[in-house]
Structure formats: structure tokens, C-alpha cells
């Protein structure tokens, strides 16, 4: 069975009905505008026609196909009763529409069953003609209830008016069309179902009527109208399109009522040429920095120690939301233990007994995602349990650990993106720890691959307002993180700390930070297998005694440690 590909027609959609525009295999390669989508393809009818070279054709019928592509529409009966009641005429006149316009547009009136009120009531009737034949009717009651004729074809209202015209105004409703006609402009049409209209049906069979015409979009000045405007612009591929702005009014009819016909016509002269959006438009808007605008200091996720400034104490930010950090060190330097201490301190609980200087901030009901890429399930679980032991509980519903050792780098990245962007927890994440960031690439010395990964880290944290703690090995004999990946992380991370272990004492040196300086700290692994920081960032080797009265009430809804020992002003002095 032949398909469009056999005729070199590119169809990049899964739809089987509707209209598709693409390049023409007969003429596009010979034209100056080689990417111009001049070939119109009707997917349901399986036919095509080029609007430039006029090449046309169709696919053979599908043998045995029981699908009927042709829809049989019902046409309502035209009763030619355009005599309107005085009440209805006055209703239109109050909206700027004269009786002469009502007669010319064949507005009618009659009793109709309306689903909005579940009764037969008097309605105004907007009659949809094509080639002077009635195709559809929209019924409207006095309470803004609408309905179209049952099983009738959905077409543009007043579509006959654009036959032979050089331009067409497209509006959102019939009252807007009447407003244009009232001002002497007849070549105006409206979509059949307002801003929520599907354009496929009303455009597919009448696309030829719009060829070579100037398209002027004058839809409502509200959210739904703006969405319809974009749909129309995309349907016509922005070609020959202009836009009308109704200023302080909602739509064309409201503008006519407020400003009358002369100003209405003057406003149409202010048409704006529609520009196909560039991907750089949003980048320009999002990335431009107003140097006079006050930008808040990044909210802190984890702090280590504090700085005295006047009478106040400022937390030293180790990790802020919207950034990523890196813990680096030689193999077996106890990097994972320090990572466990960071995550436990973010939660709170009894972690203060293991470090009096590490605090979590704004962590209420926020999830901690702890990812291990290196260890077996047994050893990964042992490390995950360590976090809970430091906190002082056996389980915490906001702590979500995952062991990703069996998976490929590509699968690990895809899983992390699933957690961040698609999963049920995507909007409730505070911190993600990735112990083994090098396992997200095939080769940590591949410049391109490592740059892509670091870009992802920046994108994830910026877009989701989370912090990511990464763990990476050092080059042998130095404090520098491993490979091209380490170099890229070194340049982009908010904080880099290096861990060295000597005589069972691990020393953490905060090599680089975009925030205030953090003093070096030391910790040891106690007999219970848990890390403990020497008190108050001292470099002494003396034993650390837990502070009194720092227990937390586990009946509370969440775990968070007491931060009343220091003040957190809006912005630190550094």
C-alpha cells in the first residue's frame, strides 16, 4: 500500500485527519525560499496540492478499509424569516448594530430548545452561509447560552464575504463581525465556536479561499483571545498576517460601543505586522538583567557556620536553591559520610548532635532525593540508613533514596529528568544528591559530553529552584576534581569542597564558593559508624560532647532544626 513517503511528501505528524502543510518535492528545491511550506495535504482525504507549482494528486484507496473519511453533514432548513421583534432590534441597537446591518446579515429570530436552560425559548439566530446556501446556524438565548445546529458543518461565519477580496479580518464572534459590517467592512469572518474553536474542520475544506490574502487577526483582548490568535497565526504560518489591538476594550463590539465607527476605522489603521516568534525572543526576555531592579539573595538550602556582622549573625551559605555544589576527594576519603551529614542536617532532628554548625533552611515538607550510582544495593542501603540514623529516626517520608548502579549513564540522566519534570514528586523537591556524578557520562574526559551534563545540572537547578549536591573523585595527588568533568564542575558549581583523610580524620576544605568564606572543618567516624564534626569548626582533636536540650519533638508534622541561635537577614554583607 502506497503512502505519502512514496511520493517524497514529508508528513511529520501522527494525525490521520486534518490539514498538513509541508514543502513540495516538485518545486521547493528550485525556489529561493526552499523551506516555504507550499504543499497543502489533506490527511483524511489523502490528497495534496501545491500552492506554488500547482502539483496535485492523491493516494490510492485503501483496500478493505472500512473507515469512512467523508463526513456527511446535515444542513439546517432556511426559513427566510428575518423580521425581528422590536425588543431584539433594540437589543442590537444598544450594542451599536443597526437594523439595516441585521437585514443585510440575515439575522433571524425564533423558538428553539436550548440546553443551557433545558427549555424551548426565543433565540436570536446567526445564519452561516456558503455560496448563499445555509450550512449552519448558531442560536443564542438572552443569558448568553449558545448552540450550533446539530450535525451541521462548522465553517467560518460570513465566509462568503471573503470570496474575491484581497484581505480578510478574522474575529472571535458573530457580534464582532456585525461591528465590522456596521462600519462598512464586509470582508470579516468569525470562528464558529469562539476562542475554543478547533480550526481543523473550518479551515480544511476552505483553505483555498485564503490563498494570497492578507490575514488580519482581530480577536478578543483577553487570555483566551491571545491563545486563539496564536492558533490562527500558526495555522497560516504567520504568512501575510497582521494583528489588531483593541486597546482598553475586550473586543470589536465593545470598541464600537465605546468609540463609535470613526474611531473604529482609525484603529484598524494601527495594524501590527505579525512576526513569527524566534526562540531567542524568550531568551532575551528571560535573560535580560535590569541593574536597577532589586534581586533577592538566593534562598539558602544548607549553611555551614555563620559570620558575625555587627549585632547579627549571617549563615554561611554552602548550598542555595537554584544552584549545585560538589564534594570532591580521593577514593575512601569519607566523601559519602560528609554527604550524609549534609542531607541529615538539611532534615534536622538530632543531626545537631553530630554537627553544631551545619543547618538546613526552608526544608519544611521538601523532598530529599539521594541517588547513589556506584554501590550495590546492600552498601547503598547502608549509606542511606546512615542519614536516618544521624537524624535520629528509622524513616522519613520526605527522604527518597535510589540506587542506580545497574543502569547506563543515559538511563540515569533520563530517570533524574523524570523525577524532576514528570513524576508525582516533581514540584516538591528541595535537594537532590548524586553520589557518583561521573557515572552520568560515558567518558568524564569527553569535553562535549561533560559540558552537556554540566549544562543539565544548571538547567535542572535553575528551572526547578532546587539544589543538587554532587560527589566526584579527585585526580590522584591533587585536590582537583577528575577529568574534563571535574574542570567543568569546578567552573560552574556554587561551592567546591575537597576532603582529605589522614589518621582517620577527614578535613573539609572549602576551596571555592560564590558566597561568603566557610572555615575548614574536620570530622571523624565514631565507633557507631556515624560522622561527627569537631565542635564549632575547631581543628582540635578533642572529643566532641553533644549539646544539651536539643532533642526534637517527633510528633511534629515535619523535622526541622532550631535556627533561633542566629538571625537570617535578607542579604548577607558579602
pLDDT digits (tens, 9 = 90+) for 333-391: 899 999 999 999 999 999 999 998 999 999 888 999 999 999 999 999 999 999 999 99
Is residue 155 a contact partner of residue 143, using CB atoms and an 8 Å limit? Answer: no
Which run of H or E residues covers position 390? Answer: helix 377-391
pLDDT digits (tens, 9 = 90+) for 171-202: 999 999 999 999 999 999 999 988 888 787 78
pLDDT of 207 reads 87
| 3-state SS, residue 115 | coil
pLDDT of 566 reads 36
pLDDT of 222 over the 70 cut: yes
Contacts of 446 (CB under 8 A, 6+ apart): 484
Q: How confident is the model at residue 541 (pLDDT cuts 50, 70, 90)?
A: very low
Distance CA 160, CA 46 (A): 27
DSSP for 319-386, written as a single string: EETT-EEEEEESTTSSHHHHHHHHHHHHH-GGGGGT-SSEEE-S-TT-EEEEEESSS-HHHHHHHHHH
pLDDT of 61 over the 80 cut: no
pLDDT of 63 reads 56
User: What are the sequence ranges of the domains in the chain?
Assistant: 4-58, 86-278, 320-512
Distance CA 375, CA 434 (A): 12
* Residue 79 or 232, more confident: 232
pLDDT of 477 reads 67
CA dihedral 121, 126, 129, 132 (to 10 degrees): 90
CA neighbor of 136 nearest in space, from 144, 145, 127, 124 = 127
**Total Cβ atoms within 10 A of residue 104:** 14
Contacts of 188 (CB under 8 A, 6+ apart): 158, 161, 168, 169, 170, 171, 176, 177, 180, 181, 218
| 3-state SS, residue 468 | strand
CA neighbor of 57 nearest in space, from 4, 109, 93 = 4
Lowest model confidence (mean pLDDT) among 48-57, 296-305, 384-393: 48-57
Range 319-331 burial, b when 16+ CB lie within 10 A, else e: bbbbbbbbbbbbe
Q: What is the CATH number of domain 320-512?
A: 3.40.50.300
Q: Which residue has the cell 543547618?
A: 359
pLDDT of 168 over the 60 cut: yes
Phi and psi, residue 216, nearest 5°: -115, 110
Q: What's the sign of the alpha-carbon dihedral 371, 376, 377, 380?
A: negative
* Residue 50 or 303, more confident: 303
Mean pLDDT of the chain: 86
CA neighbor of 181 nearest in space, from 251, 122, 115, 261 = 261
pLDDT of 44 over the 70 cut: yes
Distance CA 259, CA 53 (A): 46
Q: What's the sign of the alpha-carbon dihedral 58, 63, 67, 70?
A: positive
Distance CA 33, CA 13 (A): 23
pTM: 0.57
Contacts of 208 (CB under 8 A, 6+ apart): none
DSSP for 195-261, written as a single string: GG--HHHHHHTTGGGGTTPEEEE---SSHHHHHHHHHHHHHTTTTTEEE---TTSSSHHHHHHHHHH
pLDDT of 520 over the 80 cut: yes
Distance CA 272, CA 267 (A): 11
Q: How confident is the model at residue 310 (pLDDT cuts 50, 70, 90)?
A: confident
How would you classify the pairing of strands 531-533 and 367-372? unpaired
Averaged pLDDT, 146-156:
92
Fold topology of 86-278? Dna Topoisomerase Vi A Subunit; Chain: A, domain 2 (3.40.1360)
* Burial of residue 7, with CB atoms counted within 10 A of its CB: 0-12 exposed, 13-18 middle, 19 or more buried: middle
Amino acid at each position: 500500500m502506497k503512502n505519502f513517503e512514496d511520493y517524497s511528501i514529508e508528513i511529520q505528524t501522527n494525525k490521520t485527519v486534518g490539514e498538513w502543510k509541508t514543502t513540495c518535492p516538485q518545486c521547493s528545491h528550485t525556489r529561493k525560499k526552499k523551506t516555504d511550506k507550499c504543499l497543502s495535504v489533506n490527511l483524511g482525504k489523502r490528497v495534496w496540492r501545491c500552492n506554488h507549482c500547482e502539483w496535485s494528486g492523491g493516494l490510492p484507496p485503501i483496500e478493505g478499509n472500512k473507515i469512512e473519511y467523508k463526513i456527511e453533514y446535515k444542513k439546517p432548513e432556511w426559513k427566510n424569516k428575518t423580521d425581528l421583534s422590536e425588543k431584539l432590534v433594540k437589543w442590537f441597537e444598544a450594542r451599536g448594530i443597526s437594523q439595516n446591518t441585521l437585514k443585510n446579515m440575515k439575522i433571524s429570530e425564533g423558538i428553539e430548545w436550548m440546553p443551557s436552560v433545558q427549555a424551548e425559548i426565543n433565540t436570536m439566530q446567526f445564519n452561516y452561509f456558503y455560496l448563499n446556501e445555509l450550512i449552519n446556524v448558531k442560536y443564542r438565548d438572552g443569558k448568553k447560552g449558545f448552540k450550533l445546529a446539530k450535525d451541521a458543518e462548522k465553517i467560518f461565519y460570513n465566509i462568503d464575504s471573503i470570496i474575491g477580496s484581497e484581505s480578510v479580518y478574522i474575529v472571535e464572534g458573530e457580534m464582532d463581525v456585525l461591528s465590522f459590517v456596521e462600519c462598512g467592512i464586509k470582508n470579516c469572518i468569525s470562528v464558529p465556536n469562539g476562542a475554543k474553536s478547533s480550526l481543523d474542520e473550518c479551515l480544511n475544506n476552505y483553505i483555498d479561499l485564503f490563498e494570497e490574502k492578507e490575514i488580519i487577526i482581530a480577536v478578543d483582548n483577553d487570555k483566551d483571545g491571545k491563545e486563539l490568535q496564536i492558533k490562527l497565526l500558526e495555522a497560516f504560518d504567520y504568512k501575510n498576517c497582521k494583528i489588531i489591538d483593541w486597546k482598553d476594550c475586550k473586543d470589536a463590539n465593545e470598541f464600537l460601543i465605546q468609540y463609535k465607527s470613526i474611531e473604529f476605522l482609525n484603529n484598524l489603521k494601527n495594524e501590527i505586522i505579525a512576526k513569527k516568534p524566534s526562540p531567542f525572543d524568550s531568551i532575551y526576555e528571560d535573560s535580560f538583567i535590569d541593574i536597577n531592579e532589586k534581586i533577592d539573595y538566593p534562598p539558602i538550602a544548607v549553611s555551614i557556620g555563620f559570620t558575625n556582622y555587627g549585632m547579627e549573625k549571617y549563615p554561611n551559605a554552602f548550598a542555595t536553591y537554584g544552584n549545585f555544589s560538589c564534594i570532591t576527594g580521593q577514593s575512601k576519603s569519607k566523601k559519602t559520610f560528609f554527604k550524609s551529614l549534609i542531607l541529615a542536617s538539611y532534615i534536622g532532628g538530632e543531626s545537631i548532635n553530630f554537627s553544631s554548625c551545619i543547618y538546613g533552611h526552608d526544608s519544611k515538607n521538601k523532598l530529599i532525593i539521594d541517588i547513589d550510582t556506584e554501590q550495590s544495593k546492600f552498601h547503598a542501603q547502608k549509606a542511606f540508613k546512615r542519614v536516618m540514623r544521624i537524624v535520629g529516626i528509622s524513616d522519613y517520608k520526605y527522604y527518597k533514596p535510589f540506587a542506580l548502579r545497574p543502569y547506563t549513564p543515559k538511563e540515569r540522566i533520563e530517570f533524574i529528568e523524570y523525577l524532576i519534570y514528570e513524576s508525582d514528586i516533581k514540584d516538591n523537591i528541595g535537594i537532590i544528591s548524586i553520589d557518583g556524578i561521573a557515572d552520568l557520562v560515558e567518558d568524564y574526559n569527553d569535553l562535549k559530553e561533560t559540558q552537556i551534563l554540566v549544562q543539565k545540572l544548571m538547567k535542572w537547578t535553575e528551572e526547578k529552584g532546587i539544589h543538587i549536591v554532587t560527589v566526584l573523585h579527585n585526580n590522584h595527588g591533587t585536590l582537583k576534581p577528575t577529568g574534563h568533568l571535574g574542570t567543568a564542575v569546578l567552573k560552574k558549581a556554587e561551592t567546591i569542597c575537597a576532603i582529605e583523610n589522614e589518621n582517620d580524620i577527614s578535613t573539609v576544605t572549602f576551596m571555592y564558593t560564590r558566597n561568603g568564606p566557610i572555615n575548614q572543618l574536620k570530622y571523624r567516624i565514631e565507633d557507631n559508624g556515624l560522622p561527627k564534626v569537631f565542635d564549632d569548626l575547631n581543628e582540635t582533636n578533642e572529643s566532641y560532647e553533644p549539646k544539651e536540650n536539643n532533642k526534637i519533638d517527633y510528633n511534629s508534622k515535619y523535622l526541622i532544626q532550631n535556627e533561633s541561635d542566629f538571625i537570617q537577614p535578607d542579604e548577607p554583607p558579602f
